[in-house]
């Protein structure tokens, strides 16, 4: 892209151009730099790079050109300062959380989130001495502030939750986060920046699974952590964030808060990618860049198709409790109108069958839909959460997560909506 500031372009334009200035061959497509290590001009330069006095590539576990372009492009679309891709959405969520919290801290998380994230915060973080406290996304006033204390170092939620399609009242959350000077982290995987911009509503960190709508074809895993502009102000001299304000012994006594750089993301590289290595590969970054080019078009079409499907299900006697925020009368319709562009709501929707067995039968009877533990593919997908993605949760956790034994989750694809609806009709009536 010509050297213009990104601020003036819309997301559609940024998705095609941001972060890439031609390399020496002037390839129009971003090149895949299939490379592990970088040759230094001198040992002096090598030493400067290792000491962070000069920024530049050292080894591809830390940074590499194709991956960096993806990170810069995603950050530009999101309106962020910096973005670090990771090998999966799960590693992005993990890195964002452990960049805030260490042994002895706690994090506060929304009850309606992705099943894998729930397991990560409740069980895995516990092994690191980090306590996870839940708040009720549908009752923020009475539950969020109560869960916070002097050791709280992150508030985590999803803008549009998978699988419940709950929409967060983001401003209510960020108001409390700001009052207590706690980093707020929003998983924006399902909404994407084309429907929702977390930073416009006071969020500090946006994380993604790129494996879903951003890639869009179920062909690569990836994640990203993006920080908002000027986040350093919140981290600097904040007693909740000691690792940013005390010398890092593993980095010659470096104090991150003294760096004139986006330190949240820099520390993701220097602490987490360097020492635990969940780095995105150049190949996967390139595949995800292909998907990103058409994300704006696709998410709109996913949303239009899903609204048609939701209306069909609403009219069908065998489908109950249709959850789709773009439906008038849906619990989250008001929040959708407030926070989402053009009131579009992605391809994710759920409904309930009569009982557990009928739900399973419907899944097995669908022909066009594939039974897949994924969302955001261009092809329509179906899953029965209680027997699969959410089968590790206790009954109480299931209930809190808004999933019942009868819930069927659909990820509506880009097929002709008449074909999608015909398939659902035959499966419901079988």
Ligand X SMILES: *Cc1c(COP(=O)(O)O)cnc(C)c1O
What's the closest the beta carbon of residue 234 comes to ligand X, in angstroms? 23
Cis omega before residue 362 (within 30°)? no
Rg (CA), the chain: 22
What's the closest the beta carbon of residue 215 comes to ligand X, in angstroms? 9
347: Cα within 13 Å, side-chain hemisphere? 29
Query: By C-beta, is 83 or 116 nearer to ligand X?
Result: 116
H-helix or E-strand spanning residue 89 = helix 89-100
Distance in angstroms (rounded) separating the CA atoms of residues 410 and 120: 24
Query: By C-beta, is 162 or 184 nearer to ligand X?
Result: 162
Token pair in block for residue 156: 């985590």
Token pair in block for residue 87: 């090998």
Q: Does 158 bind ligand X (CB under 6 A)?
A: yes
Q: Taking CB under 6 A as the criterion, which residues in 77-96 touch ligand X?
A: 88-90, 93
Query: By C-beta, is 33 or 94 nearer to ligand X?
Result: 94
What's the closest the beta carbon of residue 377 comes to ligand X, in angstroms? 12
Query: By C-beta, is 223 or 405 nearer to ligand X?
Result: 223
Q: Does 211 bind ligand X (CB under 6 A)?
A: yes
Q: Which residues contact 344 (CB under 8 A, 6 or more apart)?
A: 195, 299, 300, 303, 304, 326
Give the burial class of 249: count Cβ atoms within 10 A of its Cβ; 0-12 exposed, 13-18 middle, 19 or more buried: exposed
Q: Give me the residue whose beta carbon is nearest to ligand X.
A: 89
Q: Does 377 bind ligand X (CB under 6 A)?
A: no
The alpha carbon of residue 315 and the mean position of all alpha carbons in its chain are separated, in whole angstroms, by 33
What's the closest the beta carbon of residue 210 comes to ligand X, in angstroms? 7
Q: Which of 110-118, 133-141, 192-200, 377-385 is the region at the interface with ligand X (rule: CB under 6 A)?
A: 110-118
- The full DSSP string for 367-385 is SSSEE-S----SS-EEE-G
Give the burial class of 310: count Cβ atoms within 10 A of its Cβ; 0-12 exposed, 13-18 middle, 19 or more buried: buried
Q: Does 212 bind ligand X (CB under 6 A)?
A: yes
Q: Does 411 bind ligand X (CB under 6 A)?
A: no
Token pair in block for residue 136: 């009720």
Q: Taking CB under 6 A as the criterion, which residues in 160-199 touch ligand X?
A: 162, 187, 189-190
Q: Which of 70-78, 178-186, 206-214, 285-293 is the region at the interface with ligand X (rule: CB under 6 A)?
A: 206-214
Q: Taking CB under 6 A as the criterion, which residues in 294-323 touch ligand X?
A: none
Sole binder of ligand X in the list 101, 121, 155, 221 (CB under 6 A) = 221
**8 A C-beta contact, residue 357 and residue 199:** no
What's the closest the beta carbon of residue 190 comes to ligand X, in angstroms? 6
Query: By C-beta, is 186 or 319 nearer to ligand X?
Result: 186
What's the closest the beta carbon of residue 154 comes to ligand X, in angstroms? 15
**8 A C-beta contact, residue 393 and residue 417:** no
Q: Does 350 bind ligand X (CB under 6 A)?
A: no
Is residue 206 classed as helix, strand or coil in its secondary structure? strand
Distance in angstroms (rounded) separating the CA atoms of residues 355 and 362: 11
Interface with ligand X (CB under 6 A), residue total: 18
| Spatial CA neighbour of 94 closest among 241, 244, 271 | 271
Query: By C-beta, is 66 or 209 nearer to ligand X?
Result: 209
Q: Does 110 bind ligand X (CB under 6 A)?
A: no
Q: Does 215 bind ligand X (CB under 6 A)?
A: no
Query: By C-beta, is 158 or 423 nearer to ligand X?
Result: 158
Is residue 40 classed as helix, strand or coil in its secondary structure? coil
The packing angle between helices 295-314 and 417-429, to 10°, is 40
Q: Which of 75-83, 208-216, 305-313, 353-361 is the region at the interface with ligand X (rule: CB under 6 A)?
A: 208-216
Binding mask 113-152 for ligand X (x = CB under 6 A): -x-xx-----------------------------------
Residues in the chain: 430
Sole binder of ligand X in the list 223, 296, 385, 402 (CB under 6 A) = 223
What's the closest the beta carbon of residue 48 comes to ligand X, in angstroms? 35
- Chain residues that interact with ligand X, rule: CB under 6 A: 88-90, 93, 114, 116-117, 158, 162, 187, 189-190, 209, 211-212, 221, 223, 375
């Amino acid at each position: 892209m010509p050297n213009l500031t990104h601020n003036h372009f819309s997301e559609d334009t940024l998705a095609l151009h941001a972060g890439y200035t031609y390399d020496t061959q002037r390839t129009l497509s971003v090149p895949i730099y299939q490379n592990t290590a970088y040759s230094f001009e001198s040992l002096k330069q090598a030493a400067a790079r290792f000491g962070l006095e000069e920024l530049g590539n050292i080894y591809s576990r830390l940074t590499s050109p194709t991956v960096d372009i993806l990170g810069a492009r995603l950050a530009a679309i999101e309106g962020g300062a910096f973005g670090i891709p990771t090998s999966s959405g799960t590693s992005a969520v993990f890195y964002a959380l452990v960049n805030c919290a260490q042994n002895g801290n706690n994090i506060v998380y929304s009850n309606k989130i992705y099943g894998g994230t729930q397991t990560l915060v409740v069980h895995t973080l516990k092994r690191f001495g980090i306590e996870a406290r839940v708040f009720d996304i549908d009752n923020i006033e009475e539950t969020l502030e109560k869960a916070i204390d002097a050791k709280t170092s992150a508030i985590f939620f999803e803008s549009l939750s998978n699988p419940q399609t709950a929409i967060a009242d983001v401003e209510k959350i960020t108001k409390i986060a700001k009052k207590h000077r706690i980093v707020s982290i929003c998983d924006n995987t399902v909404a994407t920046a084309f429907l929702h911009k977390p930073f416009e509503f006071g969020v500090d960190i946006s994380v993604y699974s790129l494996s879903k709508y951003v890639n869009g074809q179920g062909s690569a895993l990836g994640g990203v952590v993006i920080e908002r502009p000027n986040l350093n102000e919140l981290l600097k001299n904040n007693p909740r964030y000691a690792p940013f304000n005390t010398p890092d012994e593993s980095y010659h006594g470096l104090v991150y808060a003294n760096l004139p750089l986006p330190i949240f993301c820099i520390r993701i590289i220097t602490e987490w990618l360097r020492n635990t290595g969940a780095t995105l590969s150049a190949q996967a970054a390139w595949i995800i860049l292909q998907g990103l080019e058409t994300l704006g078009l696709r998410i709109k079409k996913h949303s239009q198709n899903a609204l048609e499907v939701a209306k069909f299900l609403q009219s069908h006697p065998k489908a109950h409790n249709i959850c789709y925020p773009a439906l008038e009368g849906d619990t989250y319709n008001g929040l959708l109108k407030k926070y989402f562009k053009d009131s579009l709501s992605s391809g994710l929707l759920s409904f309930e069958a009569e009982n557990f067995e009928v739900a399973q039968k419907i899944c097995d009877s669908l022909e066009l839909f594939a039974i897949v533990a994924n969302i955001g593919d261009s092809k329509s997908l179906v899953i029965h959460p209680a027997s699969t993605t959410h089968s590790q949760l206790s009954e109480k956790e299931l209930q809190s997560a808004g999933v019942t034994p009868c819930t069927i989750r659909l990820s509506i694809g880009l097929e002709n909506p008449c074909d999608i609806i015909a398939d659902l009709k035959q499966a419901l009536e079988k």
